[in-house]
Chains A and B, each alone.
Chain A
């Protein structure tokens, strides 16, 4: 199976380490020619969504990846990755993938002093360690088929829609590989 990790900016190596532990090969995507013809999975890592979005367009990665996502290729976005997938961003416009029908709020917990960690249930996975770093949350669901995987303090922080999983927190910063496993099984 061919798994790509968007590697234009941010914590992509952390996702790569998770896949290595699961004995899953991957390719790092930094420019259009890195995208394998037979790409079957895509991970969108944490980092700065504004930077990643700009580079997706300017390094010509955007349309190829967007088409694959619209063809239901499984995609997993964490933090900035979730923002890239979101159809709408509160008080901002977006030219991200817009494939996940949610309204997301960036920096929803404020600045770095608002960053925190906790544990919770994510879909079927219980006691999952969740690390929120200048994190967003989902403010509104825009389609009835969007499944809520986690609520933390009444805010939606993980969702699934078709083959797209988005988390506001960072499973890749923990040793817990259960969500990565779920993603690879989609």
Chain B
């Protein structure tokens, strides 16, 4: 990827800021998401809650299904490939996907190496639990980062933990003396140039969204107040009682995340939220996939 292409890819993520990216499995769901105000959709065969329930190996979606969704909507379409599965990523690039999520939600294809994302023209978003992980993904070519909250659970605790961790590590780094940055880079296992960027700018060099466990407008507002620049919503919408209404409410909650009066109204009568699973009840921690 040329420096110029990488810049354009980071800039597409900037355009998504303040928005909600919704998981969809059919063109019909994609249209509902677009009408409800999604700024992009994530095309996948099964939403994370169902992947979790079904078990087994979960892979990149059928390209025909993704293309059906690309035809159905005018907003950007993202899709997931397995961690380290660069051939799946090549296929997604061939069908002109707008963003690839190298995602722990699918079964990892490689337990050592992530995809060398610098070899691609299409942009990648990757999950991160802490600053080191975020900067390692960025060094590999990711042009957008998201938290690695536990997908398919409706439990926000992990996304909160990751966002707080990343933000506090950024503050720590910003407060360091300049001659301490080499050691910080060593500890974080990342290139010193990226450490220097964070030190000087007090932020990641790419956009950072919240993902995993967002089920309500209040969850979305919580993540935005903790410093997320936008929100991914997976199972939270199409596993709830009234997807249209809930999706639309979450979109407005992201825009006005610090207006409790409005959030109160948005949270009224949304029907049943997804049932969810608590962190302690989960047999499989997807966030532990890829470091």
Contact = CB atoms under 8 A, between A and B. Distances in A.
B76 interface: yes
Contacts of A80: 15
A41 interface: no
Contact of B37 (A31, A51, A133, A134): A51
A80 B251 CA distance: 17
Interface in A92-133: 92, 106-107, 110-113, 115-117, 131, 133
Contact of A112 (B9, B39, B251, B259): B9
A184 to B, nearest CB: 23
Given A110-B96, A115-B8, A117-B4, A46 B37 contact: no
A50 interface: yes
Interface stretch (A6-14, A66-74, A137-145, A160-168): A6-14
Interface in A12-65: 12-14, 30-31, 46-48, 50-51, 54-55, 58-59
Interface stretch (B16-24, B80-88, B174-182): B16-24
A47 B19 CA distance: 9
A112 B12 contact: yes
B79 to A, nearest CB: 12
Nearest to A31: B256
Interface centre among A30, A59, A131 (most CB of B within 10 A): A30
Contacts of B11: 115, 131, 133, 170, 173
B96 A113 contact: yes
Interface string A147-184: 00000000000000000000000100100000000000
Given A111-B97, A117-B7, 14 more contacts: A9-B39, A10-B17, A11-B15, A46-B15, A47-B18, A48-B39, A48-B75, A50-B74, A50-B75, A112-B8, A115-B8, A115-B9, A134-B12, A173-B14
12 contacts: A10-B16, A14-B14, A30-B259, A47-B17, A48-B75, A58-B252, A59-B256, A79-B15, A107-B74, A111-B76, A111-B96, A115-B11
